[in-house]
Structure 1
């Protein structure tokens, strides 16, 4: 049935009922009484309608479904419909609020910066990443022009020219940012920022690594090729010169071999395809092997000693031997003849420790932070004299990262050095039988 019909039938029935009551009073008490009763009934209806209108107005000011009044007559259906509409609206608002909360949470976790601006570049919203990248504070900067907040000539030119097809690379706040503006809707724009600082650093490290590796390989190759050319051009070269040349070529070939082996080791340590396989590591024989290698390298020119007074651990014996041997060989190389090198395995306050102490030339404080970089050398000439590859401490760093261990370097120029490797207590095992 038509909703209008459903509304008018009850209304007409109520009016008819009122007229019947007024007619009965007319018939019993006369026309004046009937008119008075009719007037009172009409006034009552008017008062009732005005009362419901007042309640409706009050509810519209604070339109919660739970506060909707009950009605009588036609108002029952009106309030019932309003209740359903309000419940549907509240449900939609709740779902919208949930989606908005999820969106904001996602934007807060997003590593890239996102800032929403209007068509005249006034800031409307930004996520924490955009605040870090651009130096913004949403509460303070909302409603301000982004070009007044990010005062960089390249950024302002990018905004003014409006060539948003290509991103802008920007150096800002000690970061390398890639920025791009994406227009959306009619009067909104999104500014997206990506922090490429780490990528740029890795790319620079890659370039430096290739340049350094090429340089390190070029020197021995030049020596070998030079001597081969001399040998080819001088077939009657005397035996003594030929022996000297062969000796130098062999040394340079061994140098290249050590360099390539260290590069392959470093590559394997960095690769996710070669996860560390933990196993029980008996420390005493491992330290003894490292001690013998250090003494062989020293050739009797240093006093090299070792002590073991700590627990065995879980880890990779091969990787730990490589790391410990690199630390010990560095100590020998940078300690003048007659100096002392001591290897110690002990149980420190934070966990097992391997300590290499020497009385060598020491290291200036400005170099310590960069010692584990590839090919970084404090004294390049001394490193070449002692046949170092420049990758030893980089290998140590990656081995320790795989074992969740830390390297602490304490040194002073001219007074020797202490290299302290600390393993977490969770790696400790009960001492195994030896």
Structure 2
């Protein structure tokens, strides 16, 4: 039915009822009483209407659905409609509040920085990542011009030129940032920042790895190819020279073989297709095997001792043997003849520990943090003399990552070093 009819029909019926009542009183008691009754009825209706208008005005000051009056007559339908509208509005507002909370939570967890600016570059909002990348503080900097907060010449030029189709690379706060402005709506812009420092570091490591691997392989190949060219040229060599050439080529071939084996080992350790195969490891037998290999490498030039006072563990025996063996062989290579090397396995309460302590040449503190990098050498000439590949400690690091362990290094130049492996405290 038409809403107008729903309003006017009850109103007309009430007026007819008042007129009928006043007419009856007029007929029974005279015109004065009839008019008085009509006036009182109209005043009562007017008072009711004004009362509901007052309640409506009060409700509009705080339009909450639970505070809406019930109403009477036409006001019942009016308040009923207002209640439905307000209830729908509250539901939509609750949904928007929930979505806004989710959006802010997502923006807080986003690793990339996001800052919202108006058309004149005044900061309206930013997430924690943007605060970290750009050195902003939302509470302090909100409402300030971004170009006054980020005083970098390249960023200012980027803003002035307005070429936002391409991102800008900035070196800011010791970080490499990729910055881009995305216009949206009519009076808003989004500033997006991405921290490429780690990506750049990994790319640099990849380039260094390729360069170092190529260099390490090129040296023995050059030696082998050179001797092969001499042999194929038909030049007569005396037996002693020929024997020396063959021995040097054999040594260089073995060096390449060790290097390639270590590179393949690293590749397997980093591959997700090569999961850890955990088993019970007989640590006592493993330590003895590592010590025997160290003695064989030493050739009797060092005093190698062991002590085992710890539990067996769960892990990959092959990988742990590789890690422990690398630490022991390094101790042999960098300890002068007559030095001492002690290999131990203990349980300090927080978990089992493997340690290799030597009386070798030691390592300066500035090198310790980089020792597990691939091909990193403290003394390149000495490393090649000792036939190291430069990948041993990188292998140790990745083995420990797979076993949840850590490596700590204590060293002092001229006094020796201690390499300590700490494994989780779960016993077999």
- Shorter-chain TM-score tier: over 0.9
Matched, 1:123 2:120: no
Counterpart in the other structure of 1:381: 381
- Structure 1: distance between partners of 2:278 and 2:154: 52
- Residue 50 of structure 1 deviates from its aligned partner by 0.9
- Structure 1: distance between partners of 2:68 and 2:398: 68
Counterpart in the other structure of 1:227: 227
Counterpart in the other structure of 2:66: 66
- Structure 1: distance between partners of 2:83 and 2:328: 82
- Structure 2: distance between partners of 1:6 and 1:385: 104
- Residue 234 of structure 1 deviates from its aligned partner by 4.5
Counterpart in the other structure of 1:345: 345
Q: Deviations over 1:6-57 (max 9, x none)?
A: 2111000101111122222222222122222222222221111111111000
Q: How many residues align?
A: 428
Counterpart in the other structure of 1:322: 322
- Residue 232 of structure 1 deviates from its aligned partner by 2.6
- Structure 1: distance between partners of 2:306 and 2:144: 67
Counterpart in the other structure of 1:284: 284
Q: Normalized against structure 2, the TM-score is what?
A: 0.98
- Structure 1: distance between partners of 2:5 and 2:386: 106
SS at 1:425 equivalent: coil
Q: Deviations over 1:162-191 (max 9, x none)?
A: 111111111111211111111111111111
Q: Deviations over 1:88-140 (max 9, x none)?
A: 11111111111111111111111111111111111111111111111111122
- Structure 2: distance between partners of 1:297 and 1:11: 111
Counterpart in the other structure of 1:142: 142
> Which sits farther off after the overlay, 367-376 or 37-46?
37-46
> Which sits farther off after the overlay, 273-282 or 34-43?
34-43
SS at 2:259 equivalent: helix
- Structure 2: distance between partners of 1:267 and 1:55: 78
Matched, 1:252 2:279: no
- Residue 231 of structure 1 deviates from its aligned partner by 2.2
- Structure 1: distance between partners of 2:371 and 2:285: 28
Counterpart in the other structure of 1:432: none
- Structure 1: distance between partners of 2:79 and 2:372: 76
- Structure 2: distance between partners of 1:6 and 1:241: 119
Counterpart in the other structure of 1:111: 111
Structure 1 gaps, min length 5: 430-434
- Structure 1: distance between partners of 2:387 and 2:76: 97
Counterpart in the other structure of 2:310: 310
Counterpart in the other structure of 1:372: 372
- Structure 2: distance between partners of 1:2 and 1:268: 79
Counterpart in the other structure of 1:295: 295
- Structure 2: distance between partners of 1:85 and 1:129: 40
- Structure 1: distance between partners of 2:266 and 2:2: 83
Counterpart in the other structure of 2:9: 9
Counterpart in the other structure of 1:56: 56
Matched, 1:75 2:72: no
- Structure 2: distance between partners of 1:156 and 1:356: 55
- Structure 1: distance between partners of 2:235 and 2:210: 37
Q: Normalized against structure 1, the TM-score is what?
A: 0.97
- Structure 2: distance between partners of 1:46 and 1:39: 10
Alignment of 1:164-203 (within 5 A): 164-203=164-203
Counterpart in the other structure of 2:335: 335
Q: Deviations over 1:241-274 (max 9, x none)?
A: 1111111111111111111111111111111110
SS at 1:221 equivalent: helix
- Residue 153 of structure 1 deviates from its aligned partner by 1.1
- Structure 2: distance between partners of 1:95 and 1:284: 63
- Structure 2: distance between partners of 1:5 and 1:311: 92
Structure 2 gaps, min length 5: none
> Which sits farther off after the overlay, 31-40 or 410-419?
31-40
Counterpart in the other structure of 2:420: 420
Matched, 1:393 2:388: no
> Which sits farther off after the overlay, 107-116 or 83-92?
107-116
Runs of 4+ in 1 over 6 A off after TM superposition: none
> Which sits farther off after the overlay, 393-402 or 96-105?
96-105
- Residue 349 of structure 1 deviates from its aligned partner by 2.5
- Structure 2: distance between partners of 1:244 and 1:2: 113
The root-mean-square deviation of aligned C-alpha atoms, in Å, is 1.1
SS at 1:355 equivalent: strand
